[in-house]
Amino acid sequence: MQKRFPAIILTILLSNFLVTEVAANSAPAPQHLAEEAGWEFTLGIHLGYSSSRSQLDTAHDNKLNEDLNNSGHSLDKTFIFPLARAQYTFAEFKTQIFAADSREQISTAAFQYELGITHLFNNSSELTVAYFPPLLSFNDTWQDPYLTGSARITTDENTQGGRFSLTHIAGSSITLKYAFAFTDIENEHSGQSLGLNAKQLTLLRRDSLYQRVEIQTRYRIAPGVFFKPALQYTTRSADGEAHNFDQYGLQLGLLFFKGRHSLITTLNAGIKKFAVENPVFSQKQNTVNAGLFSVYSYAQALNWQPLIFNILAGYNKEDSDINFYDSEGLFMSTGITYQF
C-alpha cells in the first residue's frame, strides 16, 4: 500500500489548512493569541485529484522501472485527506499549546504531526517552538530506487525534527524561521543491484539531517491586499555524500482579503546544488525547481460561523541534470474546515 502523498499535495493542503494563520500574520501584530481562553479545535477534510511523475513515488504502478534514464510513470489518483488541529490558550492570552499536522516538514512529503507551544511577548514578538516525532511504519520509500527490470520493494522511512519561528519581531513585519529534520531509512539497499563497490554504495546512503532557515516579510499594497516575499536556505547532510545539497529558494506571495473571501497565491522557485558526483550516473546533480499554488477560502459557508469552504490548485516541477530525478506534480482539491 502506498503511504506517501506527492509533495505538491501536502504543501498546498497544509498551507490551506492554516489560511487563517496566514491572514493573521498579514495583519498588524496581535495583542492576544486567541479571542477566548481554553480549548479550540479545527477539523478539515479535502477531496482531490493529482497527477504526478517521480521515481521516488512508491505507488504500485511505479514499482517496475525499465531503465535509469526516465523520471518514472505518470500517476493519476483521487484522494481524501483529513487535517486536524487542537490548541489550548491560557487565561492571560499570551501562551498557547497545540497539536496539529506539521507545516514545517522540510525533508519529504510525508504525513507528520507536531506538538508545540507559542508565546506572545509584550513587544508583540511571537515565538513558536514545535517538535514532530517519528510516525513508525507510516511513511515509506524504495529500498533500492535504482533497481531495474524487477519490482522495487518499499521500506519504512522515519522522520522526526522540530522548528522555531519568531514572527512580528518587535512589532515589525519581519519573520524568522528555522527547522530541522532527521530521516532514517530502515532497509537501505541503494545501488546494491548495480554491482557498485563499497565506497560507491556508501556515497548513496540516505539517512540525513535537513535544515532550513527562512526570512519573511510583508507589505500592505492596498486595503485587504498584501505582498509576502520570503528567502529560504535549505541544506541536507546525508550519510552518503552524493545526496548532500544546498538549496536556495525564493517565495513570492500575494494575499487578498475581502469580507468572507480570501485568495492566496504563492510562486516559488529555487536551485539545488549537490556536493559530489552520484556514482550511479557518474555525474554531479544540480536541480532547478518552480511551483505555483492558489488557495481560495470562503468563511462562514452556508451562513454557519465555524465552517470554511476551500478550493485549491497547484503545480510543481523539478528539472535535474539527471533525468532520473526530474519530477512534476499537478493538484486540484476542494474541502471544508470546521472550527469549534
Q: Where are the alpha helices (DSSP H) in 170-247?
A: 198-203
Cβ atoms 142, 151 nearer than 8 A: no
CATH of domain 7-339: 2.40.160
Q: What is the pLDDT of residues 285-313, one digit of tens each?
A: 999 999 998 889 999 998 888 899 999 88
Backbone angles phi, psi at 203, to 5 degrees: -65, -20
Q: What is the pLDDT of residues 196-230, one digit of tens each?
A: 999 999 999 999 999 999 999 999 999 999 999 99
Q: What is the pLDDT of residues 122-147, one digit of tens each?
A: 998 999 999 988 765 457 899 999 99
User: Which pLDDT value is given to residue 28?
Assistant: 57
Q: What is the pLDDT of residues 30-41, one digit of tens each?
A: 677 888 899 999
Averaged pLDDT score across all residues of the chain? 86
Q: What is the pLDDT of residues 304-339, one digit of tens each?
A: 888 999 998 889 999 999 999 999 999 898 999 998
- CA-to-CA distance for 108 and 6, rounded, in angstroms? 9
Domain boundaries, the chain: 7-339
- CA-to-CA distance for 143 and 201, rounded, in angstroms? 13
pTM of this prediction exceeds 0.85: yes
User: Which pLDDT value is given to residue 30?
Assistant: 64
* Residue 4 CA from chain centroid, whole number: 12
Among 29-43, 103-117, 160-174, 190-204, the range scoring the smallest mean pLDDT is 103-117
Residues 6+ apart with CB under 8 A from 238: 205, 206, 207, 208, 209, 244
